[in-house]
Amino acid sequence: MITRNGHAIEAAATRDIIVAAAQRLPQRAVQEDADLLMVYDHAAMRMETA
């Protein structure tokens, strides 16, 4: 999926980075940080539907 100015490509790359980084952290660290958990969950769900 390519959109105007490549925003969809940038968003997909950002999701990949967020998910990869969160998966490298100890799960407890992700669970204890509400903001990180929210961003990770959102990115992971978007990857599943892509």
Cβ burial, residue 37 (10 Å; 0-12/13-18/19+):
middle
Q: What is the pLDDT of residue 18?
A: 93
CB 8 within 8 A of CB 1: yes
**What torsion do the CA atoms of 43, 45, 48, 50 make, to the nearest 10 degrees?**
-60
Return the pLDDT at 27.
94
Each residue's pLDDT tens digit, 1-50: 555 566 677 888 889 999 999 999 999 999 999 999 999 999 999 888 86
Task: Look at residue 49 in the predicted model and tell me its pLDDT.
Answer: 80
Q: Say what the pTM is.
A: 0.76
Question: Where along the chain do its domains lie?
Answer: 4-49
